[in-house]
Amino acid sequence: MISDGKVLNNIIATQSVHEKYGGVVPELASRAHQQHVVPVVHEALTDSGISKGELSAVAFTRGPGLMGSLLVGGSFAKSFAFALDLPLIEVNHMEAHILAHFIEDPKPSFPFICLTVSGGHTQLVLVRDYLDMEVIGETLDDAVGEAFDKTAKLLGLPYPGGPHLDKLAATGNPGAFVFPITSMRGLNYSFSGIKTAVLYFLRDRVQGDPGFIEKRLPDICASIQYTLIKMLLLKLMKASTTYGIDQIAIAGGVSANQGLRKALAGLSEKLGWQVFIPRLEYCTDNAAMIAMAGHFKYQKGIFCDLDVSPSAKMKIGDHGKNK
Residues 284-303 that bind ligand KG4 (CB under 6 A): 284-285
Ordered alpha helix ranges (H), the chain: 26-48, 67-84, 93-99, 144-154, 161-169, 192-208, 212-243, 258-271, 280-283, 287-300
Hey, what amino acid is at 22?
G
Q: What is the CA radius of gyration of the chain?
A: 20
Residue 162 assigned to a binding site: yes
Rounded to a whole number of angstroms, the minimum distance from the CB of residue 118 to ligand KG4 is: 3
Rounded to a whole number of angstroms, the minimum distance from the CB of residue 49 to ligand KG4 is: 28
- Of the candidate spans 44-52, 112-120, 130-138, 192-200, the one that interacts with ligand KG4 by CB under 6 A turns out to be 112-120
Secondary structure percentages of the chain, helix, strand, coil, to 5: 50, 15, 35
Per-residue interface string for the shown chain with ligand KG4, residues 251-270, x marking contact by CB under 6 A: -xxx-xx-------------
Query: What whole-number distance in Å separates Cα of residue 25 and Cα of residue 18?
Result: 6
Question: Quick one: what does residue 264 bind among ligand KG4, Zn ion, none, with the CB cut-off 5 to 8 Å set by partner type?
Answer: none
Count of residues engaged in binding ligand KG4, rule: CB under 6 A: 17
Would you count residue 160 as binding ligand KG4 (CB under 6 A)?
Answer: yes
Would you count residue 166 as binding ligand KG4 (CB under 6 A)?
Answer: yes
Would you count residue 163 as binding ligand KG4 (CB under 6 A)?
Answer: yes
DSSP strand pairing (122-129 vs 112-117): antiparallel
Q: Which residues bind Zn ion (CB under 5 A)?
A: 118, 285
The 10 Å Cβ neighbour count of residue 135 is 16
**3-class secondary-structure state, position 135:** strand
Query: What whole-number distance in Å separates Cα of residue 33 and Cα of residue 40?
Result: 10
Residues 119-138 that bind ligand KG4 (CB under 6 A): 119-120
- Longest Cα–Cα distance in the chain: 68
Residues 170-229 that bind ligand KG4 (CB under 6 A): none
End-to-end CA distance of the chain: 27
The kind and range of the H/E element at 59 are strand 58-63
Supply φ then ψ for residue 128, to 5 degrees: -90, -30
Question: Quick one: what does residue 227 bind among ligand KG4, Zn ion, none, with the CB cut-off 5 to 8 Å set by partner type?
Answer: none
Residue 97 assigned to a binding site: yes
- Of the candidate spans 72-80, 158-166, 175-183, 242-250, the one that interacts with ligand KG4 by CB under 6 A turns out to be 158-166
Would you count residue 63 as binding ligand KG4 (CB under 6 A)?
Answer: no
Query: What whole-number distance in Å separates Cα of residue 43 and Cα of residue 75?
Result: 19
Residue 119 assigned to a binding site: yes
Q: Which residues are annotated as a binding site for substrate?
A: 116-120, 149, 162, 166, 257
Binding site for ligand KG4 (CB under 6 A): 118-120, 145, 148-149, 160, 162-163, 166, 252-254, 256-257, 284-285
Q: Which residues are annotated as a binding site?
A: 93, 97, 116-120, 149, 162, 166, 257, 285
